[in-house]
Structure 1
């Protein structure tokens, strides 16, 4: 398994080794030990999600309050998406920057994004299916969004007419969220991750 950090600190691309023969193939799509060695701590598994999207759908940009935030490990098990990670941490050297990775059922890459980063994707095929693991369970009061077509972010979505949910279409711009004080703070995110790296568990207990 090859793991490399992207140009936004806290985001990684993971490429597993596929073993195939005429019967099909096998691969390890997630290894907690190898990911922990690269990231600095294990991913706490609290929830698993499955998302199915028609071609041209754009979802995001979603993020969660830190603490506790929500780290994600995302892979595409059917079809293809362009997965986008946005640095929404105020005070970060790469604040407002985004990076994109193609996830599909051919190369079968995955991405990991740590607490405080924003996440979205564009479906390139019908029935594009994402499977992702999350460090915390869904908390509607602590989860937010930034409009994916915000010109200040200037994300290069690879579709002419993105299909958005009503929630995403009503999301604030980056400037509005910054003014409202809803964006994660880079220092607090760093402190949270440092506690995880030290072996401390700053999460509420799973019940």
Structure 2
């Protein structure tokens, strides 16, 4: 497993090795022992799988606040997405900074989005499928979102009129959102 830090050092790109032959390829996408070897000791408790039919479908920016905050390990298993993480920790020197990584079935990369970060993605292809692990169960009473097009964050999604859910369309701006996460000085 190749682990590459991003400009937000807590957000990591994980690229599992692929072993190919005449049949195709094989890849071990998750192994708890190998993850622990590279310093990732997260207990995953839920797997999610979404399919977005239209290119330009945007899901985000989402978070789940404490006490049910979630780490996420995201991968695209069909098509391609632009996956985005935003530092959402009050007091962080990188607050509202973001990174975007293309994840695709072809490149096999995964993005580790820790607690305290907003998460979202836009589909770059039709019929894109995304699978992700979560470190806590979905808790609707802890569910939250921030506007995908918030000017204070300024994400370049590559689309101006994405396909959105009603929830994402109605999400508050960053300035109006609660601050459920606090930066803990280097963590």
TM range, smaller chain:
over 0.9
Q: Tell me if the contact between 2:50 and 2:131 (Cα under 8 Å) persists in the aligned partners.
A: yes
Q: Distance in 2 between the 1:95 and 1:171 partners?
A: 18
Q: Report the counterpart of residue 134 of structure 2 in structure 1.
A: 134
Instruction: Quote the offset at 1:46 in angstroms.
Output: 1.1
Map Cα deviations across residues 88-140 of structure 1 (whole Å, 9 max, x no partner): 11111110000001000111100111111110000011110001010000001
Q: Is residue 67 of structure 1 aligned with residue 67 of structure 2?
A: yes
Q: Is residue 184 of structure 1 aligned with residue 184 of structure 2?
A: no
C-alpha RMSD over aligned residues: 1.7
Q: Is residue 173 of structure 1 aligned with residue 173 of structure 2?
A: yes
Q: Distance in 2 between the 1:113 and 1:171 partners?
A: 20
Paired residues, what number? 186
Unaligned runs of 5+ in 2: none
Q: Distance in 2 between the 1:75 and 1:96 partners?
A: 23
Q: Tell me if the contact between 1:45 and 1:133 (Cα under 8 Å) persists in the aligned partners.
A: yes
Alpha-carbon distance change, 146 to 188 in structure 1, aligned in 2, over 3 angstroms: farther
Structure with more helix by fraction: 1
Q: Is residue 164 of structure 1 aligned with residue 164 of structure 2?
A: yes
Instruction: Quote the offset at 1:4 in angstroms.
Output: 1.6
Unaligned runs of 5+ in 1: 191-207
Instruction: Quote the offset at 1:9 in angstroms.
Output: 3.1
Q: Distance in 2 between the 1:17 and 1:156 partners?
A: 30
Range moving further from structure 2, 64-73 or 53-62: 64-73
Q: Report the counterpart of residue 9 of structure 1 in structure 2.
A: 9
Q: Distance in 1 between the 2:22 and 2:152 partners?
A: 48
